[in-house]
Structure 1
Amino acid sequence: MNPAQLYEQKLRAKEEAITFIQPNTDIITPILVAEPEALMKQLETFEGLKGNRLFQMFTTREVINADPDKLKIISMFMGAAERKAFKEGKIDLLPNHFSDIPKILKQTARKPVVLTTASPMDDNGWFSLGTNADHTIAMIPHAETVLLEVNEYMPRTYGENQVHISDVTALIENHQPIPEAPPAPEQSEKDKFIGDYVAGLIDNGDILQIGFGSIPNAIIDNLKDYRNLSIHTEMVPEKIMTLYESGALTNENNPFQKGKITATFAFGSRELYDFMHENQDIYMLPVNKTNHVGRLQSADKLVTVNAGVEVDFLGQVNSEKVGGTYWSSTGGQSDFQVASRLSEGGRGVICLYATAKGDSISKIVPSLNPGIPVTTSKNDVDYIVTEYGIARLRGKTIRERTKALIDIAHPKFRDELTFSAKEMGYL
């Protein structure tokens, strides 16, 4: 049977496709854009659920309101909808390093069912997961059931995110615009200061891991005159198009795929998705490759840039909890922070504003409060950057770290922090 015949044989209405999900099986969906809208909506009303678990990650839709005896929902990284549901006790959170999710799911998922969006099939029977590879493509060979939602709005990308029709259990067609990221906030003066400081830590020829948001955008704006940069990252950020067009990117030093941008997912505007469509200079990889510390450490001059919520005098970084609210999860921060430490000539940068809530709260703190998770450990931390400067913590003692962090805190909190440091015996 040729690919076109297989396609017609496996094409189903969404109401029928969802019935391939059996009781007491575990459903796995991608992060962000490739989460299949029509299949997820059908799942909400599917009466065949019993003892199922849904593993999702940073959903762009409302969390399914389900009886937990029928469907237990487990987030692996929380967005706004999951954050609210977690606070209300409707879902649970699975601690993880992003790189480790495929291994965790292989070890714990029962008769895995993968649900994902894909671009239309080519003449040889191959679908592309488009904006995604993440943990999904790593799980497909281990899945008992693979349900695809084919969407012509999903860009066709290249790399290790291809699925053959022969490996698909059933598919539906649902052609509708895919989720887009909200525009990043306009850069503030704080963002521009941090962008300037971080750009000063980057050299021509470096390999960069960088994310999205106003601070990463400010950093990228400073890199357009650089040369021979490479991008190996988790998420393809919106501003990468600017860097690509400026000539700053050659990706010649990218050991994962020479001459190409490598990443595991993307989230941005339609313009970004169009930029990615059939772009041979972008190569998608599963997260157990993009974020694997053992692979990353072989990349010389790896510079990783991530965000923190707060940092204490020891250098412990919390990037997951805001006050008493669980905000996100570890993601790939720890993966890349450890890798930058092991990389020859590597640098790991954590960015954060010095204050929150109208300068009423210092984000440089003496100690993390009880119950606050440590995302980056004191032994892996390297550079901390605020709008007031750079603190290099790696290789520094506790007293040296304390002083360096107080120096980049908001001036109104420095006396108070100094007093606490003396009370603790750190100064």
Structure 2
Amino acid sequence: MSGRIRNQQFAAKVVEADEAAELIRPGDNVGMSGFTGAGYPKEVPEALAKRVAKSHEQGDPMKVGLWTGASTAPELDGALAEVEGIDLRLPYQSDPVSRQKINEGRLDYTDIHLSHVAQRVWQGIYGDLDVAVVEVSGITEDGRLIPSSSVGNNKTWLEQADRVILEVNSWQSEGLEGMHDVYYGTALPPHRKPIPITHPSDRIGEPYLDCPPDKVIAVVETESPDRNASFTPPDATSEQIAGHVLDFFELEVRSGRLPRELLPLQSGVGNVANAVLAGLGEGPFDGLTAYTEVIQDGMLQLIDSGKLQMASATAFSLSPTAVERFNRNTADYRDKIMLRPQEISNHPEVVRRLGCLAMNGIVEADIFGNINSTHLMGSKIQNGIGGSGDFARNAYVSIFVTPSQAKGGDVSSIVPMVSHVDHTEHDVDVIVTEQGLADLRGLSPKKRAELVIERCAHPDYKPALRDYFQRAQQSAFGLHTPHLLDEALSWHHNFVQRGSMR
């Protein structure tokens, strides 16, 4: 037995990745671990991709259904997409090869709220789960699995799969043991009970994943780092957006709508999110907490500064520098970080109860407050909705952030009508660009439009938006939410035809 595999039953099943990949059959649905480049299997997916490529060369095409927690890495998503090895991909991806295949119509993809995946798998919506391939950081003497840097849907994969392949990754910090909270109390209706979380620090489950040894058909030992992108310091635009968000929080505290320590933070992944977190580190708020999906560099810095007392999430998404700091000081974070299954980290009931402050990025917003988070020009998917919908509809305050323009000014992020709707106006409280912040709460559609145009639109596009809205109020079919149906998507049409919305 190696140092990370402390149970003889599991140690007896250690094989090489190629041998493990041979145990996956053509047409299998495969649930793999991984969430935002953390905790995904490192060797079996690439071995499977080689096997798929060989099958194609021999004239016997092989594909599998690929289910994960969220995005993974090129060694998983990219490798299998490159060899045409994926039948149906769900629930989220951010890989450029996968994205291209999806938008070319060569790879089926279903984009799902991340909190819904486990329930749908239990319902059998996608068929049987044949194989689970799950990375863990170790196996205890009594056969319990120590999760690695993400939990995601791993609990569901291990419960639902007929066969299980484990990757035991000794690169992952041994200090992760005890940092997880795996709740086994969920059930399908009518047997569902409340999830007993009233504070982000509440521990309601176990620090380990359970899996019967007789389900495990192979164990692969690895020593490979997660695929984490380098952290880019916030640019001027991100800092301006962050400044507007922080000013809004201060105003909400002064008005008595938020406590001085705010409410649990949820932050999407990206440059703007890290800029907001960096701003919080320099701001007047202390005793902060987070109930979110992903812990990024900015959140780790908030913990280091003493501003953030507790962060509950389902995964890390750290730069190499932050990973090194975390692995070096894991013991210091043990009582400040908790990783849960994504059906709990994103659970609408808990988000509503805790009163999360949700901050998520977007592709575009329209003047009435509808949000497109996923599609370019209405038909090309970028990544997916992820968990933004889980939080947006249930947050205490739902904030969406974006630069006011893109593509060197050829695209306005504020448009007459979004080309794809992910979050309706009913789920959107605040829209922020570097130009300003529009608080849409309590406003009628026309009042929202006036505010979004004046506060959020780029000056190059503001006159055209004003003109559209004024003419719509004169000749629209109705004046509650006035639109010119023959022009509402003309900006997108201009970009597709001429390369610019101008």
TM-score (norm 2): 0.76
Once the two structures are superposed, the pairs formed by residues 63-78 of structure 1 within 5 Å of their partners are 63-65=79-81, 71-78=86-93
Q: Is the counterpart of residue 159 in structure 1 residue 181 in structure 2? A: yes
What does residue 331 of structure 1 align with? Answer: 386
Match 1:59 to one of 55, 66, 72? 72
Residues 123 and 338 of structure 1: CA distance in aligned 2, closer, same or farther (over 3 Å): same
1:77-128 Cα deviation digits (max 9, x unpaired): 1212321221233322112111001122232232431112211223443332
- What aligned pairs does 1:215-364 form with structure 2 within 5 A after superposition? 215-224=272-281, 225=283, 226-251=285-310, 261-274=311-324, 275=326, 277=330, 279-280=333-334, 281-300=336-355, 302-323=356-377, 324-340=379-395, 346-364=396-414
**Cα distance change, pair 183–222 in 1 and its aligned pair in 2 (3 A):** closer
User: Within 5 A, what are the aligned runs for 1:152-231?
Assistant: 152-155=170-173, 156=176, 157-160=179-182, 162-164=208-210, 166-167=212-213, 169=216, 170-184=218-232, 186-202=233-249, 203-224=260-281, 225=283, 226-231=285-290
Give the 3-state SS of the residue equivalent to 1:128 in structure 2.
strand
Are the aligned partners of 1:49 and 1:71 in contact in 2 as well (CA < 8 Å)? no
Distance change >3 Å, CA 249–CA 78, structure 1 → 2: same
Aligned twin of 1:389: 436
- Provide, for residues 277-330 of structure 1, a one-character-per-residue CA deviation record: whole Å limited to 9, x for no partner: 454221111111111112211113x21100011111221100101235210111
Of 78, 94, 108, the residue aligned with 1:92 is 108
- Residue type at the aligned position of 2:42: E
Q: Give, in angstroms, the shift of residue 150 of structure 1.
A: 1.0
Query: Alpha-carbon deviation of 1:417?
Result: 0.4
* SS at 1:41 equivalent: helix
What SS class does the counterpart of residue 339 from structure 1 fall into?
A: coil
User: 1:303 and 1:82 mapped to 2: Cα distance?
Assistant: 32
Change (3 A) 1:355 1:52: closer
Unmatched tracts of structure 2, length 5 or more: 183-206, 250-259, 474-481, 484-502
1:221 partner amino acid: A
5+ residue gaps, structure 1, are 252-260, 341-345
Take 1:165 and 1:152, find their aligned partners in 2: how far apart are those partners? 19
Aligned 8 A contact 1:77 1:330 in 2? yes
Cα distance in 2 for residues equivalent to 1:220 and 1:66: 36
Is 1:134 the equivalent of 2:145?
no
**Matched position secondary structure for 1:20:** coil
Letter in structure 2 aligned against 1:151? N
Cα distance, 1:245 vs. partner?
1.4
Task: Tell me the SS of whatever aligns to 2:446.
Answer: helix
Who wins on radius of gyration, i.e. which is larger? 2
TM-score by length of 1: 0.88
Give 1:192 shift. 1.1
Distance 1:215 1:7 in 2: 44
Give the deviation of 1:416 after TM superposition: 0.8
What code does the residue aligned with 1:10 have? Answer: K
Give the deviation of 1:189 after TM superposition: 1.7
CA deviation string 1:172-224 (max 9, x = no partner): 1111222122322x322211111111112335232100133221121112212
Question: Does the CA contact (< 8 Å) of 1:59 and 1:81 recur in 2?
Answer: no
2: distance between equivalents of 1:358 and 1:19? Answer: 48
Query: Normalized per residue, which structure has more helix?
Result: 2
Q: Post-superposition shift, 1:235?
A: 0.7
Name the structure 2 match of 1:424: 472
Distance 1:66 1:241, change over 3 A: closer
Answer yes or no: is the 8 Å Cα contact 2:267–2:359 preserved in 1.
yes
CA–CA distance in structure 2, aligned partners of residues 171 and 195 of structure 1: 45
CA RMSD, Structure 1 to Structure 2 (Å): 2.4
The alpha-carbon distance between structure 1 residues 193 and 367, as it changes in their structure 2 partners (threshold 3 A), is same
Aligned length: 407
Q: Which amino acid aligns with 1:200?
A: D
Give the structure 1 partner of residue 14 of structure 2.
Answer: 11
Write the distance in 2 (CA, Å) between the matches of 1:100 and 1:41: 28
- Asked whether the equivalents of residues 240 and 434 of structure 2 are also in contact (C-alpha less than 8 Å), the reply is yes
Superposed displacement of residue 240, structure 1: 1.3
Q: Check 1:386–1:111 CA distance in 2 against 1; reply closer, same or farther (3 A cut).
A: closer
Whole-angstrom CA distance in 1 between matches of 2:115 and 2:276: 25
Q: Is the 8 A contact 1:38 1:174 kept in 2?
A: yes
Q: Share of identical aligned residues, percent?
A: 22
Matched AA of 2:229: A
1:365 aligned to 2:424? Answer: no
Question: Which amino acid letter does the alignment assign opposite residue 35 of structure 1?
Answer: Y
Aligned to 1:343: none
Residue identity in the other structure for 2:392: Q
Residue from 21, 28, 40 that aligns with 1:35: 40
Which residue number in structure 1 is paired with residue 198 of structure 2? none
Correspondence for 2:168? 150
Is 2:229–2:320's contact at 8 Å kept on the other side of the alignment? no
- Distance change >3 Å, CA 65–CA 235, structure 1 → 2: closer
Match for 1:405 among 443, 452, 460? Answer: 452
Bigger CA drift: 140-149 or 19-28?
Answer: 19-28
Shift of residue 418 of structure 1? Answer: 0.7
